[in-house]
Amino acid sequence: MILVVSTLHEPSVNRVVRHLEDRGAPWARINTEEFPLLRAGRIALGGAEPHGVLDTPRGAVDTRAVTAVWMRRASRPAVPRRFSAKDKAFVADEANAFLNGFLDLVSGRFVNPREAERRARKIPQLELARRCGLSVPRTLVTNDADAVRAFAAAACGPVVFKPLAGVGSNGHDFARDLGDRFGEAVEVEPQSPSADPDAPAELVFSQILTPERAAHLDALRYAPAIFQDYVEKAFDVRVTYVAGRVFACRIHSQEADDTAVDFRRMALRERIEDVGHALFEPPVPLREGIERFMQAAGLVFGCLDFVETPDGAFVFLEVNPSGQWLWVEQLTGAPISEAVADALCS
């Protein structure tokens, strides 16, 4: 039995479970918004074999039968609107505690192990990448405007800045879709207090520290940020790593101004396919460095971002242990979802 832990709006799950079904592998999915309001769970302790049982749309799942867990995404549970803010927080905490306790009783493989995913934060992963032989840009994380000015003065070229946690300030959070799912009497906490399902996306992308932006550095006192030497690009590179398999894709981000600094801006386009994507075989030193890094991080799956410089060097930017990859598969034909299914079935 393969258990998928996800959210209601995660399109990659459908692609992977089709491959599981092709292999005849039994699977079940729990959407974290639905527990505990729509799904019941039971954990029995004190007997000969402690175990948990969780109801899913495909039937009850017993921890003793689970051979693998795909930790895809998680969200806060749906709760009645009439609950107070304190009661909503209590429900969310209790639901999270139950699901963690349930998963603690699973002895099968996790993609990814939960503790490894929690450790994969931006600051330690940069140092780990450096220790594993990957090139990383000179970096400063701070809320000290004077430190940034000194950092920029010592730079050989432009400096780029980006958020530390990488959370957008607004954007579509599926509030209306979730309302259709649960009804008007129930709500799911939005991604941000100001989220409006009809508002245009307001995402925080990487940006060059221009003189105009540097004039506002004193605002750092309200929130720290990451500052790095800007690395000249030939391509952005997205590497999807799945249990030892490496799918490397060059993104032709330098062919347009809007994607030159941060290729993720292509998500704001009507046609993402207008940005060139091409699979390539990574050089052996890069592949070996990725393998060392992922093993050291304890990650089975991850989406790694690199810059490929005009002289062919590769500079590590970050790894997202639950990153998106479906668009790469759709544009290039890379069999990533099949590789995820293989990792869960192995």
213-265 pLDDT tens trace: 999 999 999 999 999 999 999 999 999 999 999 999 999 999 999 999 999 88
The CA–CA distances, whole Å, from 346 to 67, 73, 130 equal 9, 21, 31
Q: Please name which of 239, 253, 230 lies closest in space to residue 301, comparing C-alpha atoms.
A: 239
Report which secondary-structure segment, H or E, holds 131: helix 122-131
Q: What's the burial of 70, exposed, middle or buried (CB within 10 Å: 0-12/13-18/19+)?
A: buried
Report pLDDT digits (tens) over 59-106.
Answer: 999 999 999 999 998 888 988 888 899 999 999 999 999 999 999 999
Q: Which two tokens stand for residue 73?
A: 């995404």
Report pLDDT digits (tens) over 123-144.
Answer: 999 999 999 999 999 999 999 9
Q: How far apart are the first and last CA of the chain?
A: 12
Q: How confident is the model at residue 168 (pLDDT cuts 50, 70, 90)?
A: very low
> Is the per-residue pLDDT at 161 higher than 90?
yes
Report pLDDT digits (tens) over 12-61.
Answer: 999 999 999 999 999 999 999 999 998 999 999 988 899 999 999 999 99
The overall pTM is greater than 0.95: no
Chain mean pLDDT for the chain = 90
Q: What is the assigned CATH class of domain 113-137+232-346?
A: alpha beta
- How much is the pLDDT for 217? 93
Question: Domain 2-111 maps to which CATH number in 1.10.1660, 1.10.1740, 3.40.50, 1.10.10?
Answer: 3.40.50
Q: How confident is the model at residue 342 (pLDDT cuts 50, 70, 90)?
A: very high
Q: How confident is the model at residue 268 (pLDDT cuts 50, 70, 90)?
A: confident
Q: Please name which of 174, 290, 189 lies closest in space to residue 239, comparing C-alpha atoms.
A: 290
Secondary structure of the chain: what % helix, strand, coil (to 5)? 35, 25, 40
Q: How confident is the model at residue 164 (pLDDT cuts 50, 70, 90)?
A: confident
**All structural domains of the chain with their residue ranges:** 2-111, 113-137+232-346
Q: How far apart are CA 287 and CA 332, in angstroms?
A: 20
